[in-house]
Amino acid sequence: MPPLLDLPALLAIARRSSAVSQPCNCISKPLAGWEGWPVTLREAQLEQVGTLAALPREEATLDEYHPDGTSYWSIEAPIAPAFYPYNLCGVWACRECGRAYLRYNDDGAYHSESRIRALDPELISAAQ
């Protein structure tokens, strides 16, 4: 079971990730906002380093946090662990370069899609 990450631990992972400068195929597609799983990224290339899911999926809120008029798809949308979809996310790191990503399965009415977003320390919010 991956460890539940508090805000300081999440920020530390995000800061380490943002300091990585080496080239890697994990950044062949910009992942600044939520994206479907890129075909260029192998599943085995990432390893889970933690989770933001403090509650079971059925009990997690579906409320989003967008104080500045952003939306789910905005690359400027805050990363607020207490809100959807971050409250369902695992935190994963590239085994090759160490860049960190948020991942979760977006379960729609008729399909499920794996979503991924780069972990940007500048966007992390402590909003409750």
Residue at 123 is within a domain: no
Q: Kindly state whether residue 92 falls inside one of the protein's structural domains.
A: yes
| CB distance 89 to 14 below 8 Å | no
CA pair distance 99, 5, nearest whole angstrom: 17
* Residue 59 lies inside a defined structural domain of this protein: yes
Count of H-run helices and E-run strands, the chain? 1, 5
Range of the domain at 79: 1-17+43-105
Q: pLDDT at position 110, please? A: 76
Is residue 58 assigned to a domain?
A: yes
User: How far is the C-alpha of 39 from the C-alpha of 10, rounded, in Å?
Assistant: 27
CA dihedral 66, 70, 72, 73 (to 10 degrees): -160
**Cβ contacts of 64-67, under 8 Å, gap ≥ 24:** 65/125, 65/127, 67/127
Question: In this structure, is residue 54 part of a structural domain?
Answer: yes
On whether residue 49 sits in a domain, the answer given is yes
Provide the pLDDT for residue 64: 97
Task: Domain count for the chain, please give it.
Answer: 1
pLDDT tens digits, residue range 66-107? 999 999 999 999 999 999 999 999 999 999 999 999 999 988
Instruction: Retrieve residue 29's tokens.
Output: 């597609």
Place of tokens 């905005």: 74
pLDDT in tens, 32-74: 999 999 988 999 999 999 999 999 999 999 999 999 999 999 9
Maximum Cα interatomic distance, the chain, rounded to a whole number of Å:
39
Would residue 128 count as lying in a domain? no
8 located within any domain:
yes
Using DSSP, state whether 30 is helix, strand or coil: coil
Q: How far apart, in whole angstroms, are the C-alpha atoms of residue 113 and residue 37?
A: 8
The answer, yes or no, to whether residue 108 has pLDDT greater than 80, is no
